[in-house]
A and B are shown apart, each in its own frame.
Chain A
C-alpha cells in the first residue's frame, strides 16, 4: 500500500455542463451545470463517499473520472497521469487500474454470455492472465465475492439482483484495479441483501487494499462504507470531511437538512426537531454564490456572493464546508 499522503486520484476544479432547452422557449438553450468546480483527492485503500439527491451531479462526477465524459474544465489525475484529455487509445492500457460498478446489474452484464465468459474476456484482453490460468482465476474471483464457482456456467438472468451485483464486483476485481468507482451499487437491492454487499465491499477492501469512490443516496449505506464523505448539491461539493465528523457535526445547512430528512429506525425520532426543506431543487443559472440559498433557512444577503468556495471548519482542518455564513454562531 502507498503512503497516505500521495493520492491515487486527484480531481481539481472539474466542471461539466449540458445544454438544456430553456423553459417556455423552443429555440433558446440554457445550460445545466451538472458539475461545477469539484475537487477532491482519493488515497489508496480509502473510500470516499459522494452523497446527494438525484440530479446533484454525483453520477456525472463518476462518469467524468472514468473518462466516459469529457469535462469542460478541470483535471483528473490518476497517479501521475492526467487522464481527462487522453484519447481512448492511450487511456486503454490504464483502464484495468480503475474499474466501475453500476447500479443496474441486470443491464451491465451481457445477457447472452455465461458468467465464465463475462469474467474471462476482459482478463484475456488486458493480458492479466494466460488462457490456461483464466479458469482458475475465475473460480477464485467467484469465491472471493461469495458465489459458488459451480455457478459459472449460468447466464446472468439465472441469478438474483444481489448475486448479479456480486458478479459485477467480481468483474471489476478481475483486472486487479487500484480504484473501483461504485455508482449506487446497492440502491436497487433489498436491505438484507444490501447489508451483505456492503460487508463484502468492506472485506474486499481490507484484503486487497483497493480504493472506492462510492456514490449513493442512501445516507446510512454511504456512512457505513466511507472513510470520508463529500456532500453534493446542484453540481457542487458543499461539504467534505471525515465520515463520522460530517454526520455528527454537519457544518453546512444542506447536510443538516439531508440528515434530518433521513428517516431513523427509532420510534421517538419522529418527534425530533429538524429542518424541513421547502420546495425542490430548482433550475437556475447561478454560478455565483451559494447554490443552496433559495431553500436555506439561514440564507442572508451575503449568500448571493459568497459560499461557493470550501473552507475549513474551525477546529477541524480536514473538514471543509462551503457555508461561510457563520457556522459557529448558529451552533450547527
Chain B
C-alpha cells in the first residue's frame, strides 16, 4: 500500500544565535492509510518535535535542516504557508496533550467548534452548529447541546479531550496526529479515549500518528511502532514483533523497566543505568552505547539492519552478530 505520509531522514535543528542544536537525526518512518503508528520514547527524545515539524508548527527557533516530509507524494516542507494552511486541519489534524491550553478560555465550546467548521468547510452558522452537535455526539458526549454552551473550564479533562477530537474530526482528516492525548488523564478516562480513537479509526479509515511515552498505550493502540532515543529512530516494527521480541537493547531495557500490575514483586525492577547524555547531538554512532549492556567500541557507526520483514533496528551489536553468523 502506498504510504500516506513519509518522513525521510528528518533533521530538525534549533538555533540560538549561531549555535545549532540538532534535535533529531535521520528520523525516517511512514504512515499507511488507516493505520495507527506509535512514536514512542522518553522525554526529550524528539518525538514531539518530529510531530510538530510535519505541520510546520515548530517555534521560530526551530527549523527542518535536512530531509523531507512527503504527504501523498508532496513535500510539505516545500509548500508555501498558504498551501500548508489548506492541509492543516483539513487533511492532517492534530490534538495535543495540554488540553487546557488548546482551547480558548473566553469562548464557548460551540463558538470554537463552529469557527473551525466555517473556516475550513465554509459552512453557514446553522449548518456548522448542526455538524458540531453531530461530531460531539460521535465522540461519546451525551448532551452535545449543553456542552456547546459551556466554557472550557467547566468541562473535565476527559471531556475537553473529546471536544478536541471532535474538532479535529470536523474536516474528516486522512491523518490525525495525536501528541500524548491521554497522558494528562486518569487511567479509566484514558481507556475511554483510547477506545474512542480506535473506534473512530475503524469508522472513518483515517490514519493516526500517536505520540506517547507509555508502552502500555502502545500495546493497546499500535499497529506499528517506531522507538526513538536521543533524537534517532532505534527500532521499527509491527506492534506484536516489538512487544514480543524487541531487538534493540534500548527497547528491551525500556520494556523491562515498566512495572507491571501482575509482576512478581520480589523480582527487582530492571532499570537502565545512567541518563540520556545531555550533549547527545554531537555524538557519533550509537547514542545508547554509554548505557548499553552490549555497548563496545564497534558502536561508533550505527547502521540499520532489517532482522525480519518490517522489523528494522539500528544497532551494531546485532549487525555484527549477523555478519559473524553469515560468515559461518
Contact = CB atoms under 8 A, between A and B. Distances in A.
Contacts of A190: 42-43, 213
B187 A247 contact: no
Interface stretch (B127-135, B168-176, B202-210, B270-278): B270-278
A53 interface: yes
Contacts of A247: 261-262
A220 B258 contact: yes
Contact of B217 (A196, A202, A220, A263): A263
A278 B215 CA distance: 24
Given A199-B269, A248-B262, A262-B261, A53 B187 contact: yes
Interface stretch (A75-83, A88-96, A265-273): A265-273
Interface of A: 53-54, 160, 162-163, 190-196, 198-199, 202, 217-221, 223-224, 243-244, 247-248, 257-267, 269-270, 276-278, 280
B239 interface: yes
A322 B91 CA distance: 50
A44 B159 CA distance: 43
A259 B254 contact: no
Contacts of B270: 195
B311 to A, nearest CB: 14
A191 B254 contact: yes
Given A192-B42, A192-B254, A196-B271, A53 B259 contact: no
A291 B221 CA distance: 31
A273 to B, nearest CB: 13
B240 interface: yes
A163 B273 CA distance: 12
Contacts of B159: 280
A196 to B, nearest CB: 4
B156 interface: yes
A160 B195 CA distance: 35
B192 interface: yes
B259 A263 contact: no
B219 A192 contact: no
Contacts of A265: 215-216, 218-219, 243, 255, 258, 260
A192 B265 contact: no
Nearest to B216: A263
**Contact count band on B:** 35 or more
Contacts of A218: 259
B196 to A, nearest CB: 11
B191 A276 contact: yes
B219 A270 contact: yes
Contacts of B275: 160, 162-163, 193
Given A193-B275, A258-B187, A264 B219 contact: yes
A142 B299 CA distance: 33
Nearest to A276: B191
A220 B272 contact: no
Nearest to A257: B188
A198 B258 contact: no
Contact of A192 (B192, B218, B268, B271): B271
B144 interface: no
B191 A223 contact: no
Given A192-B42, A199-B269, A223 B259 contact: yes
Contacts of B218: 265
A262 B189 CA distance: 10
Interface string B239-271: 110011000000001110111111101001111
B187 A191 contact: no
B115 interface: no
Nearest to B250: A192
A264 B260 contact: yes
A191 B42 contact: yes
Given A220-B258, A263-B217, A265-B258, A195 B187 contact: no
Contacts of B263: 220, 223-224
B186 interface: yes
A162 B273 CA distance: 12
Contacts of B214: 263
A221 B260 contact: no
Q: Which of A247, A263, A280 gathers the greatest number of chain B CB atoms within 10 Å?
A: A263
B186 to A, nearest CB: 4
9 contacts: A190-B213, A220-B263, A223-B265, A224-B269, A261-B190, A263-B187, A265-B243, A265-B260, A270-B221
B186 A191 contact: no
Interface in B203-238: 213-221
Given A192-B271, A262-B216, 11 more contacts: A191-B258, A192-B253, A193-B275, A198-B259, A219-B187, A223-B263, A224-B259, A263-B217, A264-B219, A265-B216, A277-B191
B219 A269 contact: yes
A328 B273 CA distance: 45
B158 interface: yes
Contacts of B271: 192-193, 195-196, 198-199
Interface string B266-300: 00111111010000000000000000000000000
A260 B220 CA distance: 12
Q: Which of A162, A221, A261 gathers the greatest number of chain B CB atoms within 10 Å?
A: A261
Contacts of B265: 223-224, 243-244
Contacts of A191: 42, 213, 215, 254, 257-258
Nearest to B214: A263
A223 B221 CA distance: 24
Contacts of B158: 280
Nearest to B239: A267
Contact of B260 (A194, A220, A276, A277): A220
Contacts of A196: 271-273
Given A192-B272, A195-B272, A198-B259, A261 B188 contact: yes
Nearest to B275: A160
B261 A219 contact: yes
B244 A267 contact: yes
Nearest to B42: A190
Contact of A261 (B187, B253, B254): B187
B189 A280 contact: yes
